[in-house]
Amino acid sequence: MNIVRKFLECLFVWNVSPTEIIEPDVILAHGVGDHEDGTPGPINQEMAVRIREFCSEHPGLSILAQGEVGQCLTGLKVQIVVPRQRDRTGKYIDTKDVAQSQYAACKKGNWSRPVLFTWRPHVLRARQVTEKVFGIKVMIPDGLPKRYDKDNSQIWLRNPFVALPRELAARMLYLFKGLI
């Protein structure tokens, strides 16, 4: 895809359609911040509900999760391969870091048909980065959360007036850095 097309996609694509789900072998779950007290918050809880539903439709899948959503998935085959932001000192864990950690775990587990769960406004960039890191297409399920969380520790997840401009800026940064 040429740079102009990617640029236009970054500007104008805010609703990524679910893809056909064909023989998935692993779930990639991106966390979406948490609350100051460490509780996962409603976005991660809603995503966990959808992951549980998906696992009941596709039993036996392993889940490679970021800590914020992983803590909501007790009783499932979950590997926390990316710590919660609050548990990490130093550098912010960005989408590329999450994709790289999940890719390393997929190689170890010999998984090659991932389904990506993340927050709806983040799907485009998460998919593009993950596909670039993995070198394959990822599947996108339906029913991903798109709500906001007024108590989230990450200010940009609190309302669309901050979230969407922040996501647009992140898309542009990732595009010009060659990460998507």
pLDDT at position 88: 59
Angle at 101 between CA 97 and CA 107, to 5 degrees: 145
Give the pLDDT band (50/70/90) at residue 19: very high
pLDDT confidence of residue 1? 60
Question: Is 6 inside a domain boundary?
Answer: no
Q: How many CA within 13 A on the CB side of residue 157? A: 22
Number of domains in the chain: 1
Distance in angstroms (rounded) separating the CA atoms of residues 115 and 143: 13
Tokens describing residue 30: 């991106």
pLDDT, residue 38, reads 84
Query: Could you tell me if residue 5 is inside a domain?
Result: no
- With a cut of 70, say whether residue 152 has pLDDT above it: yes
Instruction: Answer yes or no: is 71 within a domain.
Output: yes
pLDDT of residue 64: 93
Amino acid 149: pLDDT: 93
Give the three-class secondary structure for 30.
Answer: coil
CATH number assigned to the domain comprising residue 29: 3.40.50
Confidence of residue 32 (pLDDT cuts 50, 70, 90): confident
Measured between alpha carbons, how far is 75 from 78 in angstroms, rounded to an integer? 8
Residue 48 lies in a domain: yes
pTM of the model: 0.91
User: Would residue 2 count as lying in a domain?
Assistant: no
Residues of the domain holding 138 = 21-176
CA 2 to chain CA mean position, Å = 24
Would you tell me how many other CB atoms lie within 10 Å of the CB of residue 157? Answer: 23
80 pLDDT tier (thresholds 50, 70, 90): confident
